[in-house]
Amino acid sequence: MKMLLSPLMRYICQVAEDGSIRKASEYLHISASAINRQIINFEELIGAPIFERLPRGMKLTDAGRVIYGIIKDFEKVSDAAVSEVSAIKGKYKGHVAIGTIQTLAGDFFAEFLASSRKENPDVSFSLFSGNTDEIVRKIVGNELDIGICWEPPEQVPVEKLRVYSMEIGIAMHPSHPLAQEHDLSLQECRDFPIIFPSGGMEIRKLLDRINVGRQTSISPAVTTNAMPLIRLLALSGTGVAVTTRISVASDVSAGALIFKTLRDVGTQHLRLAVLHRQALSLPSAARMLCTAILHALDDYLGPAPHDI
Residues 148 and 10 in one domain: no
- pLDDT at site 208: 84
256 in Cβ contact with 91 (< 8 Å):
no
What is the pLDDT at residue 83? 67
* 142 and 261 co-located in one domain: no
276 and 156 in a common domain: yes
Q: Does 25 reside within a domain?
A: yes
Q: CA-CA distance, 135 to 138, in Å (whole number)?
A: 5
Is there a single domain that holds both residue 180 and residue 242? yes
Answer yes or no: is 81 within a domain. no
Instruction: Give CA–CA dist 34/21, Å, rounded.
Output: 10
Same domain, 263 and 280: no
Question: How high is the pLDDT of residue 304?
Answer: 43
Taking only the tens of pLDDT, the chain with its 308 residues reads: 555 678 899 899 999 999 999 999 999 999 999 999 999 999 999 999 999 999 889 999 999 999 998 998 888 777 777 766 766 666 777 788 999 998 888 888 999 999 998 888 888 899 999 989 999 999 988 889 999 999 998 888 898 999 988 888 999 999 999 999 999 988 899 899 999 999 888 888 888 887 766 456 788 999 998 888 999 999 999 999 999 888 898 899 899 999 999 988 876 778 899 998 776 667 788 888 888 999 998 888 765 444 44
Task: Write out the residue range of the structural domain in which residue 258 sits.
Answer: 168-268
Does 261 fall in a domain? Answer: yes
**Contact status, residue 196 vs residue 220, Cβ threshold 8 Å:** yes
Query: In this structure, are 38 and 98 located in the same domain?
Result: no
Q: Residues 103, 248: one domain?
A: no
Same domain? 117 vs 181? no
User: How many Cβ atoms sit within 10 Å of the Cβ of residue 31?
Assistant: 11
Does residue 147 sit in the same domain as residue 185?
A: no
Q: Return the CATH number at 41.
A: 1.10.10.10
173: in domain:
yes
Instruction: Answer whether 64's CB lies under 8 Å from 48's CB.
Output: no
What b-and-e string marks burial along 77-106, b requiring 16 or more CB atoms within 10 Å of the CB? ebbbebbbebbeeeebbbbbbbbbbebbbb
d(CA 238, CA 233) in angstroms, rounded, equals: 5
Extract the runs of DSSP E, i.e. beta strands, from 21-120. Answer: 51-54, 57-60, 94-100
Residue 80 lies in a domain: no
Q: Which of 145, 2, 6, 16 is nearest to 79 (CA)?
A: 2
pLDDT at 20: 93
Residues 212 and 302 in one domain: no
Orientation of helix 32-46 relative to helix 21-28, angle to 10°? 120
Burial of 169 (0-12, 13-18, 19+ CB in 10 A): buried
In a domain, 62, yes or no: yes
| 193 plus 46 within the same structural domain | no
CATH number of the domain encompassing residue 222:
3.40.190.10
User: Around 131, how many Cα atoms within 13 Å sit in the side-chain half-sphere?
Assistant: 8
pLDDT at 3: 57
Counting the structural domains of the chain, the total is 3
Indicate whether 236 belongs to any domain: yes
Co-location of 221 and 300 in the same domain = no
- E strands in 61-207: 94-100, 123-129, 146-150, 158-166, 168-172, 194-197
